[in-house]
Structure 1
Amino acid sequence: MLAGVFTLHAAVNARLLRRPRDTSYPDPVAVLLPVRDEARRVAPCLRSLLAQRGVPEMSILVLDDGSTDGTADVVREVAGDDPRVRLITGAPLPPGWLGKPHACQQLADTTSAGVLVFVDADVVLSPSAIAGACGLLRGFGLLSPYPRIVAESWGERLVQPLLQWSWLTFLPLRALERSRRPSLTAAGGQFLVVDRAAYAAAGGHAAVRASVLEDIALARAVKRAGRRIALADGSRIASCRMYGSWGELAAGYTKSLWASFGSRSGAAAVVGLLFLVYVVPVLLLVYGLVSWSPVALLAGGVGYALGALGRVVTATATGGRRWPDALTQPVSVVLFGWLVARSYRLRRAGALRWRDRPVVPAGGGPRG
């Protein structure tokens, strides 16, 4: 059964997954934090950055990208007179750019540090996180240490675990590191560590200025520049609650899922495969119970159990919640399919917005 093959592959990846160690990093590091209306969330993130150890030459650059909720005041209050922190007022968004790539490029242009660490405002780091992640960067142009995803509401618990589950289940991690194919790439923009030379060779965020998934686009650009990338488990050094409600989660996924697939047909094929592997077994199980068919009961039960086991494997490897969340895998897949369809529908209607800005930048071309 395909569910068994995918679960086995996830287990192999979990054993191969790189994990940061508690170490020190002597070279200059710039932590780059773009913020826009993050007054409710930026304080824990910034406090965790100020508590970093093992990186004697670390600067913290915060760019306020047009916030209207007092984010800059919160940053000033938390930073106090710490000389490592510099608050920058972002420039107006130029035509052809999306907000986050523009903010990240401005931050990168402000420093000459050899390592750039991009962090989102909803990420909280352990005291050794920056040193440990930078230590893993050696030999790579870009490293993506995925944080532990904090999911509190049931909507979050149903959808958010699919992030780590998807790349652990379907991506061959060691092949991803060796391969020069840009298509074999994954990255999470919540916490990215980039070698400055690789960033420059890739064209920086200017090369991905109109990309909704700027993290994956940047990783692909780094590969095109001839540098290697790697994924790592950052669950022991970082945590992130990306969305605080189902409404925020649905809006966040809707704005970007359309960009995760090469085409509508590609999206339909992926969602169809997920339904076949993880939803059909439940339908077989129900059919077997109604008709008392031993064959349907066995096939459905085994398929469902293997799908749930895959969630247990990936949750164990990435610090997620295992039970009873693993049992909801079919529901998670159905919700994911709905979010994909919604994303394409609103994209076609030109109705996608994020943080009061259109997802398609001015001059970004026709809608697909």
Structure 2
Amino acid sequence: MSREQQVFGAVWPDGIPASERVIYEAVPPEDRPQVIERLDAAFRAANGEPWKPLADKLGLKRSAFYDLRNGWKERKLSGVIPYDRRVGRRLVIKEQDPLRSSARDLLRSRDRGTRNVDIAKRLLETHGGLAEDAGYNARLSALQRIERLVQEERRELARDRVYLERAYGQRIVIDLTAVSIVLDLPDPSLAVVAIVLEEASGLIMGSVLDTLDDAAGAQAAAIDASIEFLQQRKADVAVSGLMADLVVTLAPGSRPDPTGEAELAEKVRDLDVGHGTYAFGQNLVQTVGPRVGRMTLAPRRTLTIDAAKHLENRKANLMTLSMARARWEREVTRHNQPILEGLAEAGLVDCAGAGDGVMARALRATSNYLSGIYPSA
């Protein structure tokens, strides 16, 4: 029996939960032995063993070991992985600041198609506090700061029950973007993810990581995964009139089909189909920001052919395809966890929700449309 099996067997006699397996498989293989020993020590301490021999074995001082033991209080593997729970720093803008309240009001109004940057520009005009003769760099810095504020407020709305009850399920984003992983293949290339997003909450309902050459197939698989998710978690919205708004960014290699697009448009309330170099990832970034979990999105690099240069000049990880998929799944889990908690509190998942409603029907119609424009998908 391996050390991994021994520790997992003691901690989870009935088998490691699927959610914990996702977290573990995203740990780089070279770091897993350390995680196993930290898990074993935290588990033993929680079951009454003296802390000092356990801490000495790990080379930890008292305070560091107590942090480890406290990290295991929720019985989550993420609590024993170094730095796994570190969160990004929040902007130093008070809750009562007019900027925040105005950002919330604009987001709640749900002006159709309003992007984070558009909201930030409106806020800069009304609350920016810049002199009329402020230079380009000063305005750009202020705009970027306010855009981060808008992103923060979007995340806060994902836990606002009143907002979710009104807005959830009304707009679906299907997008495609490169991420900051270079795949270790005979011809190294940036990893590309296909994502299906519920816009109001920011929930990623389905996603698949693959190469750019297989982007069309990844997009089709992400849609299928989203339909399955909606059915399993009873996370859809009951049908009432027309379906949701739909935003779709097409993968490379699609062929125009005006008839199919017109038929799809009749089945949704509002349809926005995008394609081309600068379309990739933009709808995603404008909803969830520049990262999913801790994974940096690289929309402008989606069609890149110089992955080696990207690896040299930027912080990108070189991984096998299987490791990249495990890491991506971990970051999606990290991204989705607080959102799913908010949706559960609002009674929109795992309760009496629909398993086959507005979103599933829109996604099936989209799947039919894409099968006609992706010849090899």
- TM-score w.r.t. the length of structure 2 is 0.27
Bigger RCO of structures 1 and 2 (CA < 8 A, at least 6 apart): 1
Larger CA Rg, structure 1 vs 2:
2
Which TM-score applies when normalising by structure 1?
0.27
